[in-house]
Amino acid sequence: MSKIHRGVSLYSFQEELFLGRMTVEDCIAFGASIGAKGIEILPEQNMPEFPHLSDADVARWQDMLARHGAHFTCYDMFLDTKLRKDSLMSDDEQVESIVRDIKLASRLGIRNMRVLVFVRPDILARCVPFAEQYDVHLGVEVHAPWHLEHAWILRTIDEADRLNTRHLGILPDMGIFMKHYPPAFRARFERQGARPEVTQFIVDSHEDKIMAEYTIYEVAVKMGGNKAEVAMAESLRHAPYANPKRIGDYAPYFRHIQAKFYEMDEDCTDPSIAYDEVIPELVKCGWEGTLSSEYEGNRWIQDVHEVDSREQVRRQHVMFERLISQAEAKFGAKETV
Amino acid sequence: MFDKYLIDGASVRNVGPADAPTGFAFEAKLGYYRGLVLSMIEELAVTLDGTELPREAVLFDEGLGPISLDAMETAYDRRWAFGTPATIIVNHPGGLPAGEHKLALRQKLRVSYLPFPAFNTDEKTVKAA
Q: Among residues B77, B78, B46, B74, which one has the least CA distance to residue B59?
A: B46
pTM to 2 decimal places: 0.96
Is residue A165 situated within a structural domain? yes
Mean pLDDT in residue range B115-129: 95
Output the pLDDT for position B1: 86
Tell me: do A84 and A210 sit in the same domain: no
Nearest chain B CA: its distance from A281 CA (Å): 31
Is residue A336 situated within a structural domain? no
Helices (H), B1-129: 69-72
| pLDDT under 50: residue ranges of chain A | 337
A209 Rama class: left (phi>0) / alpha (psi -120 to 50) / beta:
left
Mutate to test the interface with A, among B43, B69, B70, B82 (most CBs of A within 10 A): B82
Helices A196-207 and A183-191 pack at an angle, to 10 degrees, of 160
Output the pLDDT for position A1: 72
User: CA-based Rg of chain A, rounded to a whole angstrom?
Assistant: 20
Output the pLDDT for position B34: 97
pLDDT digits (tens, 9 = 90+) for B42-74: 999 999 999 999 999 999 999 999 999 999 999
A 10 A CB-CB count for A228 gives 18
**Number of domains chain A contains:** 2
Q: What gap in Å lies between CA A302 and CA B30, rounded to an integer?
A: 17
Nearest chain A CA: its distance from B113 CA (Å): 6
Which chain A residues are closer than 8 Å to B82 by Cβ?
A: 17-18, 44-46, 48
First to last CA, chain B: 28
Q: What gap in Å lies between CA A239 and CA A257, rounded to an integer?
A: 18
Among residues A237, A259, A283, which one ends one of the domains?
A: A237
Statement: residue B94 has pLDDT above 60:
yes
Which chain B residues are closer than 8 Å to A50 by Cβ?
A: 35, 79
Helices A24-33 and A309-331 pack at an angle, to 10 degrees, of 40
Cβ of B112 and A79 within 8 Å? yes
CATH number at residue A267: 3.20.20.150
Is residue A337 situated within a structural domain? no
| Residues 83-112 (B) with a CB less than 8 A from some CB of A | 83-84, 110-112
Which chain B residues are closer than 8 Å to A303 by Cβ?
A: 4
Q: Among residues A293, A229, A281, which one has the least CA distance to residue A10?
A: A293
Half-sphere exposure of residue A188: CA atoms within 13 angstroms, side-chain side: 18
Name the phi and psi angles at B125, rounded to 5. -90, 125
Share in percent of chain B as helix, strand, coil (round to 5)? 10, 40, 45
Cβ-based neighbours of A71, under 8 Å, separated by 6 or more: A37, A38, A39, A65, A109
A299 to each of A22, A174, A320, A328, B107, how far by Cα in Å?
17, 18, 23, 35, 17
Tell me: do A14 and A83 sit in the same domain: yes
Q: Among residues A237, A232, A234, A330, which one has the least CA distance to residue A282?
A: A330
Q: What gap in Å lies between CA A146 and CA A170, rounded to an integer?
A: 12
A29 Rama class: left (phi>0) / alpha (psi -120 to 50) / beta:
alpha
Output the pLDDT for position A332: 83
Tell me: do A57 and A161 sit in the same domain: yes
Mean pLDDT in residue range B16-39: 97
Q: What gap in Å lies between CA A116 and CA A307, rounded to an integer?
A: 27
Nearest chain A CA: its distance from B16 CA (Å): 30
Q: Among residues A122, A246, A110, which one has the least CA distance to residue A172?
A: A246
Tell me: do A126 and A92 sit in the same domain: yes
Half-sphere exposure of residue A169: CA atoms within 13 angstroms, side-chain side: 20
Q: What gap in Å lies between CA A113 and CA B4, rounded to an integer?
A: 32
Output the pLDDT for position A335: 56
Bond prior to A51 in cis (omega within 30° of 0): yes
Residue of A nearest to B70 (CA): A85
Tell me: do A233 and A255 sit in the same domain: no
Tell me: do A223 and A164 sit in the same domain: no
Is residue A266 situated within a structural domain? yes
- Its domain, for residue A124, covers 4-180+240-331
The per-residue DSSP string of A85-123 comes to SSSPPPHHHHHHHHHHHHHHHHHHT--EEEE-TTS-HHH
Among residues A211, A237, A263, which one ends one of the domains?
A: A237
**For strand B51-52 and strand B41-48, is the pairing parallel, antiparallel, or unpaired?**
antiparallel
Q: Among residues B32, B45, B85, B93, which one has the least CA distance to residue B61?
A: B85
Nearest chain B CA: its distance from A194 CA (Å): 20
Tell me: do A203 and A268 sit in the same domain: no
What integer best gives the mean pLDDT of chain B?
Answer: 97
| Partner residue facing B40 (CB), from A82, A302, A303 | A82
Tell me: do A53 and A189 sit in the same domain: no
Is residue A314 situated within a structural domain? yes
Nearest chain A CA: its distance from B53 CA (Å): 23
Element (H, E) at B45: strand B41-48
Is residue A60 situated within a structural domain? yes
Which chain B residues are closer than 8 Å to A44 by Cβ?
A: 34-35, 82
Nearest chain B CA: its distance from A45 CA (Å): 4
Output the pLDDT for position A333: 67
Is residue A144 situated within a structural domain? yes
**Residues A169 and A139 sit within 8 Å (Cβ to Cβ):** yes
A85 to each of A299, B39, B73, B109, B111, how far by Cα in Å?
29, 8, 7, 11, 11
Which chain A residues are closer than 8 Å to B83 by Cβ?
A: 17-20
Is residue A112 situated within a structural domain? yes
A10 Rama class: left (phi>0) / alpha (psi -120 to 50) / beta:
alpha
Tell me: do A294 and A167 sit in the same domain: yes
Q: What gap in Å lies between CA B22 and CA B94, rounded to an integer?
A: 6
Cβ of A82 and B81 within 8 Å? no
Tell me: do A87 and A193 sit in the same domain: no
Q: Among residues A220, A294, A224, A283, which one has the least CA distance to residue A12?
A: A294
Query: Does any CB of chain A come closer than 8 Å to the CB of residue B63?
Result: no
Residue of B nearest to A21 (CA): B83
**For strand B86-91 and strand B58-61, is the pairing parallel, antiparallel, or unpaired?**
antiparallel
Tell me: do A222 and A147 sit in the same domain: no
Among residues A237, A252, A273, which one ends one of the domains?
A: A237
Tell me: do A10 and A116 sit in the same domain: yes
Residue of B nearest to A43 (CA): B34
CA dihedral B119, B120, B124, B129 (to 10 degrees): -100
